[in-house]
Structure 1
Amino acid sequence: MFPMNQWYVAAFAWELKDKPLARTLLNRPVVLFRTASGEVAALEDRCCHRSVPLSCGTLDGDGIRCGYHGLLYAPSGKCIEIPGQLKIPGKACVAASKVVESNQIVWIWMGAEAGSEPTMPPPNYAVHDDPRYKYKGGVFHYNAPYQLIHDNLLDLSHLGYVHLKTIGGNPKLHMEAPTNVYSDGDTVRVVRWMKSSKAPATYSAAWPFKGLLDRWQEIDFHVSYLAIWTGAVDADTEALDDPQRGGFHMRGFHGITPETETTSHYFWSMASNSHPDQPDTSELVYQQTEQTFEEDRVIIDAQYRNMARFGSNPTIDIHVDAGANRARRVIERLCSQQ
């Protein structure tokens, strides 16, 4: 059901503090923790003694100690201490997963075989380290399959209907915006321009536009995350295909990690710039983005409940589904090759 041998988002760096963090990722129960030396580790969430979740335990130096009988595990998964017992059995260990912390994102390698070595480096999301932007993010839990979230993010025509109070705008303009879809290997790119449009609420609150504006939406789909660059300039002032264009920018990170076949983790951040002549608006953008993504979650959870209720009743595709359908074909191909 899931493409394996991929890097998936397991957490944001700021989630790992002084307690273990339990997450199920692609049907695998995992405990994530940060050692005293700052290393991030991921182990199967099970003590090899009596199977109590290690996430019920405590952090101890560079290891994690089971909360039942005190067995201490190193980041490698090897048990390194059994209270009251000098000899440690050779089989006293649990599976460890490769994790890499980069750009404040914790990536976990989900191999087809547990304990397999990565065959590629983790993604690099440089926006989080770009001094032009300030960012903030969070985590949503969805009671819906992960590909429904992909569908939603690859089709931003819904903004004019679902997000009227924040980043929406004219629904007709959204539905009729010229859309170009490109594919390259395992990636899909969707580019949409909406010229001479009225500023939606978030945009007008964050940037001193003079009137109508030219908006862009650039969506880059990767197997385990999407990078979405949206923004606007005053109408007819800059070319929307200029990678160095100015104006108001919103750069969204969307890490979509399946929990199970029917539930998902959604790791998101939003980075934005502030106008040099105005106060910092990054917190306003963050709050309105959080509201926007909560609106998406409500819609998608309701969508999946209705899909389950109506069963195999047929659905149709329309013109706005081109990007989502290409992404689904990528996932289908990768799953078939496993």
Structure 2
Amino acid sequence: MSAQLHIPGVNDLSNDKTTSFPLNQWYIAALSSEVDQQPLGRTLLNHPVVMFRDSSGDIYAIEDRCCHRSLPLSSGTVEAKGIRCGYHGMLYNGSGQCIEIPGQAMVPAKARVGAYTVQEKDGFIWMWFGSKGNHAPLVDAPSYPIHGDSRYVWGGDVFHYEAPYQLIHDNLLDLSHVGYVHQKTIGGTPSIHMNADMKTTGDDVSVQVVRYMRDSLPPPTYTSAYPFGGKIDRWAEIDFQPTHIKIWTGGVDAGSADLTDPSRGGFHMRGFHGITPETETTSHYIWSIATNPVSDPQGTLASVVAQTKYTFEEDKVVIEDQYQNMLRFKDKPMISIHVDAGANRARRIMEKLRTFDR
């Protein structure tokens, strides 16, 4: 069963009971490593925000706007007590309150900007976006213990997409494209990917897709990181949540392990994909990849991160070209095929979450 995909400019919804993005959710705002000595400005769900750390290293996020003459605060400087505007020097704390105006003793109570709730966990900075009446988080931000697991080393990066966020969901939930798009890295035999043993399950807020590809030729990323003896049995376990997707892929020597065993060995790649809308038509893709090296941890990590980045660059080209062509052919219908089961379930979840409960 297919589902309607909300594509701005193609099938915009005029129903006033819908919003562009699911609210009452934690979204990935940045990698922790992105916010250091300098402020980081980023637009998230149409909200221009600036993130910075105080002298204790705590993270804050406020509107990227000085309330005096509207210069972006992200073009200012970070100090021990907050962030200082680069125009007239007004200093703001982490709650968005101006606490100092150079040359003026009294600071008006109205000299403030909006603030956002953030939580930093496991190398990610999460930001809460609530609906009216739910400005305070309903739950804590998700954890990702893989980043603290001693068996793994990890790295990450950020991409900016000129395409709506749900097209990235589609791409990650349908890995049958891997054999065609990613021949130089994680690809392999296209027919094996298209005919994978696949099971799709889920509930009201999540989708799980499991794919097994036995007796496969190991792709370049795998052979460069792990000493396989010949053909391999591959797996892909995809866990979709409305604001992020976790994907565990890997392989073992063919016939050497039960692919349903959670403690199986072999070569692992555990990907975290934070897909955060910038606007209705642009997106941030904040990702990490973790792997289990058998030797030379830093060399293996560098190779896996570099090849993962190259893989995602290939995806970016496909998705942005796809979106531009959808705009050109916006009156033309799209059909679903067997590999779309996970993506279709995710679309139905997103449609439900985009509806206001009034």
Superposed CA offset, 1:242-282 (max 9, x none) = 00000000000100000000000000111001125998411
Measured in 2, the distance between the counterparts of 1:304 and 1:128 equals 33
Q: What's the RMSD between the two structures over aligned residues?
A: 1.4
Tell me if 1:108 matches 2:120. Answer: no
Within-5 A mapping of 1:173-184: 173-184=192-203
Mapped partners of 1:106, 1:269: distance in 2: 13
Preserved contact between residue 24 and residue 134 of structure 2 (Cα < 8 Å): no
8 Å contact kept, 1:37–1:62:
no
Return the offset for 1:115.
8.3
Q: CA deviation at 1:113?
A: 3.7
Compared with structure 1, are the counterparts of its residues 96 and 67 closer, same or farther at alpha carbon in structure 2 (3 Å cutoff)?
same
1:89 Cα deviation (Å)?
0.9
1:117 is the counterpart of 2:142? no
Percent same amino acid at aligned positions?
58
Higher RCO, 1 vs 2 (CA within 8 Å, ≥6 residues apart): 2
Match of residue 260 from structure 1 = 279
Q: Which 5+ residue runs of structure 1 have no aligned equivalent?
A: none
- Tell me how far apart the structure 1 counterparts of residues 222 and 90 of structure 2 sit (CA, whole Å): 53
Q: Distance in 2 between matches of 1:277 and 1:132?
A: 13
1:18/1:114 Cα in 2 relative to 1: closer, same or farther (>3 Å)? farther
Aligned residue number for residue 169 of structure 2: 150
Equivalent residues of 1:193, 1:215 under 8 A apart: yes
Tell me the residue number matched to 1:334: 353
SS at match of 2:354: helix
2:160 and 2:284 in contact (8 A); partners too: yes
Alignment of 1:162 onto 2:181:
yes
In the alignment, is the contact (CA less than 8 A) between 2:153 and 2:297 conserved in 1?
no
Could you tell which deviates more after superposition, 151-160 or 53-62?
A: 53-62
In structure 2, the partner of 1:248 is 267
Residue 56 of structure 1 deviates from its aligned partner by: 1.3
1:146-193 Cα deviation digits (max 9, x unpaired): 000000000000000000011000000000102111112301000000
Report how many residues are paired: 338
Partner of 2:152: 133
Which contiguous aligned blocks of 4+ residues in structure 1 show a shift greater than 6 angstroms?
none
Residue 13 of structure 1 is aligned with which of 20, 32, 57? 32
Matches within 5 A, 1:185-224: 185-224=204-243
Alpha-carbon contact 1:16-1:34 (below 8 Å) kept = yes
Cα shift at 1:62: 2.4
The residue aligned with 1:83 is 102
Q: Check whether the contact 1:95–1:114 (CA below 8 A) recurs between aligned residues.
A: no
Which of 204, 225, 249 is matched with 1:230 structurally? Answer: 249
Kept in 1, the 8 Å contact 2:163–2:323? The answer is yes
Q: Which residue of 2 aligns with 1:269?
A: 288
Determine the C-alpha separation between the residues in 2 that align with 1:62 and 1:236.
59
Cα deviation, residue 60, structure 1: 1.4
Q: Say if 2:238 and 2:246, in contact at 8 Å, map to a contact too.
A: yes
Task: Tell me the alpha carbon deviations over residues 317-338 of structure 1, each in whole angstroms, 9 at most, x when there is no partner.
Answer: 0000000010111110011134
Q: 1:40 Cα shift?
A: 0.5
2-structure distance, mates of 1:170, 1:83: 65
Mapped to 2, the partners of 1:207 and 1:214 lie a distance apart of 14
Q: Distance in 2 between matches of 1:82 and 1:114?
A: 32
